[in-house]
Amino acid sequence: MVIHVELGASSYDIELCRGALARAGELINLNRKVMVVTDSGVPAEYADTVRNLAKEGYQVTVPQGEESKCFAMLEHILGVMLDMGFTRKDAVVAVGGGVVGDLAGFAASMYMRGIDFYNIPTTLLSQVDSSIGGKTAVDFHGYKNVIGAFYQPKKVIIDPDVLKTLEKRQVAAGMAEAIKMSLTSDAEMFAMLEEADDIYADIDMVIEKALLIKKHVVECDEKEAGLRKILNFGHTVGHGIESARGGYFYHGECVALGMLPMCSEEVRSRLVPVLKKAGLPTELRLYEDDLREVMTAVSHDKKSAAGGIDAVLVHEAGSFEIKKLTLAEIEEKTKKIFSPR
């Protein structure tokens, strides 16, 4: 199926279809120089498929992990493009997860003031969330995504078949983002996830529903001035846990945990079984020192603004409230859920 994202001159289609990767040559214009950016954790055959379909294909494979979202990698990609004589008419294709998409998209946005960018996400997390909406960035001086640009892709190709090679824990981490979107925006989708015996049985449906939510949010608020903030549900405390626990949890697992302090008792009692069914963590013991570390990281988050942090609260499934909370209020909520009793 095709989902159109309407953003005026920056509009594009998302092709959601099993087998779409092998048809990349029909779906996007590869009849030129193409820089394929991938990472060492992505099965080589996926990037090879795209590169071999290109008229003149090149490839940069960055090491797997957040550390690759840096200026050195960006410079490397841009350097290869320059050395190989890429012009404004050529293209960059990301084949991988969120790190690859952010890095490749940012390189495309900068090269000769912007060339065509295509995203072929290969993780569930990037398929339901990060490949849509044009956020591109690198990390800088210890801050995530602090240097970047909104740069929309020309097309996004989502092939659920590629998920068969993805580690189960990574699939679950992506499911956390889909659950997140259902909780703020689609009560029916949340009920569907709640009722499913096997939450992964109809993954195509989960991807489609999540994409429709993301499309709507991005169309309403491309640059995150308002509504797009709801995609940060679970991320405030989640990011805190992510940096305090230094790589122990995947991003999506931190989002799962980070949603718990931000919902009502009623929603939490429905959310916990859904997270468990998805194979996501629901428990964490934060002793005084851990809590301090989490809160320090929360206060360093670039989205923290003077006068408080825009937190997303869910009092009822399918709806949200964006409310400025002080650090003390966030700490109180976090403590209530994660302090050992």
Name the helix (H) or strand (E) containing 143.
strand 143-150
Q: Taking a C-beta distance cutoff of 8 angstroms, is the pair 62, 73 a contact?
A: yes
Give the residue nearest to ligand GLY (CB).
231
Q: What is the DSSP letter of 262?
A: G
Identify whether 265 is a catalytic site residue: no
> Which tokens go with 94?
């990301």
Q: Which of 102, 129, 139, 222 binds ligand GLY (CB under 6 A)?
A: 129
Question: Closest Cα partner for 70 from 36, 39, 33, 115?
Answer: 39
Identify whether 76 is a catalytic site residue: no
Q: How far is the CB of 235 from ligand GLY (least distance, A)?
A: 8
Residue for token digits 């499934």?
317
Identify whether 235 is a catalytic site residue: yes
Sign, Cα dihedral of 54, 60, 66, 71: negative
Residue for token digits 């050529």?
90
Cβ-count burial 66-94 (b if 16+ within 10 Å, e if not): eebbbeebbebbbebbeeeebeeebbbbb
From 135, 155, 215, 229, active-site residue:
135
Identify whether 23 is a catalytic site residue: no
Identify whether 177 is a catalytic site residue: yes
Q: How far is the CB of 168 from ligand GLY (least distance, A)?
A: 22
Q: Which is nearer to ligand GLY, 255 or 284 (CB)?
A: 255
Site string for ligand GLY, 212-251 (x = CB under 6 A): ------------x---x--x--------------------
> Which tokens go with 208?
């489609």
From 33, 51, 180, 232, active-site residue:
232
From 33, 215, 229, 251, active-site residue:
251
Q: Which of 119, 130, 182, 184 binds ligand GLY (CB under 6 A)?
A: 130
State yes or no: residue 119 binds ligand GLY (CB under 6 A): no
Report, as residue numbers or ranges, the catalytic residues. Answer: 113, 135, 177, 214, 224, 228, 232, 235, 239, 251
Residues in contact with ligand GLY by CB under 6 A are 129-130, 133, 135, 224, 228, 231
